[in-house]
């Protein structure tokens, strides 16, 4: 309410020779700016001071530009950081998949090696039994394996 002042005007009197009025000869005081509440809220959201006069507007614009540039730079850094973390996670996942595949391959190789060694042992035993004149030894081994359930169908 302090901003409302009422003055009584003199009207359109044309009295000659008085010259300019005293109010017109003094420099104009800086005019206060009134912003809508939404605009003021926008300034507060970006943590900037609301300009109160026309003289404050260029400074406010510069501050807003600096705040925008700073925000843009932070967003780029956060985006790069997120992308880098995502790439590291993908690389870690690929390494763990590769390690799992290697472990499975090693387990498969170990199982195959054991089977090959067992087959070689059986062949050697069969050869030794046949050399000793025991022709039924390989058949006896196969029968024993069938009873134990070691041979898969």
End-to-end Cα spacing for the chain? 100
Q: What share of the chain is helix, strand, coil (3-state, %, to 5)?
A: 65, 0, 30
Percent of the chain at pLDDT exceeding 90: 22
pLDDT of residue 92: 85
Tell me the per-residue pLDDT of 55-108, one tens digit each, with 9 for 90 and over: 899 999 999 999 999 999 999 999 999 999 999 988 888 888 888 888 777 777
Rounded CA-CA distance 6/96 in Å is 81
Can you tell me the distance from the alpha carbon of 122 to that of 141, in angstroms, rounded to the nearest whole number?
A: 8
DSSP reduced 3-state for 32? strand
């Amino acid at each position: 309410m302090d901003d409302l002042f009422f003055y009584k005007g003199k009207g359109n009197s044309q009295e000659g020779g008085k010259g300019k009025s005293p109010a017109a000869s003094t420099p104009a005081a800086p005019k206060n700016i009134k912003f809508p509440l939404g605009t003021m809220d926008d300034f507060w959201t970006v943590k900037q001071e609301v300009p109160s006069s026309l003289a404050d507007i260029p400074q406010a614009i510069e501050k807003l530009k600096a705040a925008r540039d700073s925000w843009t730079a932070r967003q780029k850094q956060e985006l790069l950081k997120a992308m880098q973390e995502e790439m590291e996670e993908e690389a870690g996942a690929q390494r763990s998949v590769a390690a799992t595949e290697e472990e499975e391959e090693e387990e498969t190789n170990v199982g195959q090696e054991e089977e090959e060694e067992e087959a070689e042992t059986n062949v050697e035993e069969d050869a030794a039994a046949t050399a000793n004149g025991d022709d039924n030894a390989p058949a006896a081994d196969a029968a024993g394996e069938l009873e134990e359930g070691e041979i898969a169908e």
